[in-house]
Structure 1
Amino acid sequence: MIMSRCRIFTLVLISTMLLIGRYQTLFLQQPHDIPPLLKAHQIRGGGKGEHTEVQDTRWEAQQQERKAAMLKGCGSEPSEASLLHVLDQHPTLDHLLINDAHQAVFCYIAKVASKTWRKVWANTVGVSAVLKRKHMLQYMVNSLIPDEHRQKSDLIRKVANYTKFLVVRHPFQRLFSAYKDKIQPPNPERDVISVLSYVQKHRFNATRKDIQWQEFVSYIIDGGYRENQHWRPYVMQCYLCDIQYDIIAKYETLFEDSEEILRRIGAPESLHFPDYYPSSTQTELMSYMGKLTQEQTDRLYQIYQQDFELFQYTHNTE
């Protein structure tokens, strides 16, 4: 009886050890659940040397596809003549932040992780004190840019030779994010003043705290899209068809794109883009878009159509 129990115990022990060994083997063979483009970045070992050749090739192919779509949407490659024309209208290219130390140019766009990127940018240009300022962007634009004494010849040279990049997202998601952040109650910001003035022409008893999505869209359609950087189309901000951008980052792939940018411009190895979890507004946006008439939706698309086409976004907000 005792021998039988010993044999049973031995068999159970052996079986258990075999199962554990099999589990460990399977676990070690399984790739970690990190998308291929994220693996090298999330290890955060630091330098470019830790990027795999496969990853670099995949990321480069993705960038080539994005740039090809942008070129197709513009109809031709940017020329020096077109840049000179832009400089006549915008002598300082004041939507571009320039980093001479790392030979990089960043076109900032509001409501596309611009606050996070500006903090990173402030560290790359050695003005981390800016991070303590409440209105950091205004300081960068109103103080730092004039201090650079931008000359036309210098700008032409830098635009030709520096690494140029921007970050974009789905145009309607960006617009909806602006509405939620700047217009929607209970805490509308000062950006609401021009919107409220418009809405009160159609609903006299409207207040800063009850502007509806449909009213905001009507304001945008009737020309309001020109009045504020938070909802101004990309094509009105970054001189898209007059400057050939080297890297097109997207909100949907923000972390890996941003890490690539930092490594490629030679940012300090210790500087990384912070862990970022892009907010998903798609489901809520679809609900709000359902409140619009077909005419409103069509006209809204017409305003941002070039943004959709240049950056390969679809009309159905996916």
Structure 2
Amino acid sequence: MKFTDSTTNKTSKAEEKPNKYKVVWQKLSSQERQLLEAKPVHELSKGEPYLGRKQAMQKKCRQLSNANNDIELSRMIYDDKHKFVMCEVPKAASTTWRKFVWFLLGKVKTKEELRHVNQSITILNRGNLPTLASLNISEAMKRLSTYTTFFAMRHPFDRLVSAHDSKFTSRDRGVTYKMNFGRRIAINQAKNHMHGVPVNNKLTSRDFNLENIPEYQKLNDVEKTDVAEYVKIIRSGEIPFQQFAKYVVYQQQATNMDAHWRPQMSLCNPCAVNYDFVIKFEDLSTDSNRLLEYLQRGEPEERKLSLKLIPSRVTNKKTTQQMKTLDSSTKQQLEKIYGDDFAILGYN
């Protein structure tokens, strides 16, 4: 498995921009690992397909040659009242589940209030949700070993396409990722698109006139159109999937990967934590409601949350179409980056 930073109390460079978020790691001792492995099968996972899912994951973890004991405590949200620990996986219903947790923690009193909560206040780097990183290791382990632990998993390439769709297209009304990542990616990959026109920060200004560049003046009409279209990409930060994929490959090689597309095995490491329950994004409504019903047992019926089935913007068809735009080298490198996700989480 590849981790962005396997040192405790280090800050991941990938998350300094745009998310100033302190990533806190803990390397479990053999005793701590054994304590989590010894947890009995949770009642939520005793039926199928949950038992089979859990057993298959455990079997594959035992076969993993490069397994380690590093876990990211700063990604694990806990609730002492309902006694659960959730490992957050961006682009796997994380926004929905953070809002559920917000309600369960009593941050709002009614479901109607919850509907009006701005999801941005629940983002981990805001510090409004309690994580195990705020506790000493003894208290963190106490919760991991006795509370209901869970995370949501998703097909690695669906998640990758979703990250691009939500951060680097017109769907995202914000500009943070586009300006901090998109522009830089477009500039760094501009060589094959600019027909010899120099690339510099002046191009990001909408007031800058391409006609003033001598190299641009020498181009034919088709080349000028190519350059003008690419300058639009540089200025907007709305990069195509191919460029995003190449950047992910580069980021992984630099061990500097953003959480929205970092492998799920790196984010939650189920081989070390032995989660009680795993939500499968492809069965999101069914799995989430099973878990919600358990966590809210004893609550008045009128206060209980449930998840209605909402179709995802990113379908298998869309993922297939996007992957077809990649060259074979980029595909192979992505398969390697997300290899443990495919192997351990049971996707193909």
For the criterion TM > 0.5, the same-fold answer is yes
- Tell me the residue number matched to 2:260: 230
- Tell me the residue number matched to 1:196: 183
CA deviation string 1:246-289 (max 9, x = no partner): 11111111111111111223443431323122315211221111
Other structure's SS at 2:149 match: strand
Quote how far apart the aligned CAs of 1:211 are. Answer: 1.1
1:249-260 pair list within 5 angstroms: 249-260=279-290
CA deviation string 1:78-113 (max 9, x = no partner): xxxx76x64xxx5xx110110111111111111111
Structure 2 contact 76–131 (Cα < 8 Å) conserved: no
CA deviation string 1:160-185 (max 9, x = no partner): 11110111111101110111110123
Other structure's SS at 1:211 match: coil
Quote how far apart the aligned CAs of 1:298 are. Answer: 1.1
Quote how far apart the aligned CAs of 1:229 are. Answer: 1.4
Letter in 2 for 1:180: D
1:123 has 2:109 as partner? no
Quote how far apart the aligned CAs of 1:202 are. Answer: 2.2
Other structure's SS at 2:236 match: coil
- Tell me the residue number matched to 1:263: 293
Q: How far apart in 1 are the matches of 2:136 and 2:44? A: 37
Quote how far apart the aligned CAs of 1:134 are. Answer: 4.8
Other structure's SS at 2:274 match: coil
- Tell me the residue number matched to 2:55: 68
Structure 2 contact 91–260 (Cα < 8 Å) conserved: yes
Q: How far apart in 2 are the matches of 1:234 and 1:139? A: 16
Structure 1 contact 105–165 (Cα < 8 Å) conserved: yes
- Tell me the residue number matched to 2:169: 184
Q: Which of structures 1 and 2 has the bigger CA Rg?
A: 1
- Quick one: which of 86, 89, 110 aligns to 1:109? 89
Q: How far apart in 2 are the matches of 1:293 and 1:201? A: 18
Q: 1:229 to 1:66 in 2, by over 3 A?
A: same
1:1-318 pair list within 5 angstroms: 60-75=47-62, 86=71, 93-128=73-108, 131=114, 132-138=117-123, 142-145=127-130, 149-185=134-170, 187=172, 189-192=175-178, 193-203=180-190, 204=199, 205=231, 206-223=234-251, 226-267=256-297, 268=299, 269=301, 270-279=303-312, 280-314=314-348
User: Which deviates more, 60-69 or 300-309?
Assistant: 60-69
Structure 2 contact 61–271 (Cα < 8 Å) conserved: yes
Quote how far apart the aligned CAs of 1:61 are. Answer: 2.1
Other structure's SS at 2:270 match: coil
Quote how far apart the aligned CAs of 1:220 are. Answer: 0.4
Q: 1:189 to 1:232 in 2, by over 3 A?
A: farther
How many residue pairs were aligned? 249
Structure 2 contact 186–239 (Cα < 8 Å) conserved: yes
Letter in 2 for 1:136: I
Quote how far apart the aligned CAs of 1:69 are. Answer: 2.3
Letter in 2 for 1:99: D
Structure 1 contact 259–273 (Cα < 8 Å) conserved: yes
Structure 1 contact 252–278 (Cα < 8 Å) conserved: no
Structure 1 contact 120–273 (Cα < 8 Å) conserved: no
Other structure's SS at 2:279 match: strand
Structure 1 contact 213–288 (Cα < 8 Å) conserved: yes
Q: How far apart in 2 are the matches of 1:154 and 1:147? A: 8
Superposed structure 1 runs of 4+ greater than 6 Å apart = 56-59
Letter in 1 for 2:346: Q
Q: Scaled by the length of structure 2, what TM-score is found?
A: 0.64
Unaligned runs of 5+ in 1: 1-55
User: Which deviates more, 219-228 or 136-145?
Assistant: 136-145
Quote how far apart the aligned CAs of 1:213 are. Answer: 1.0
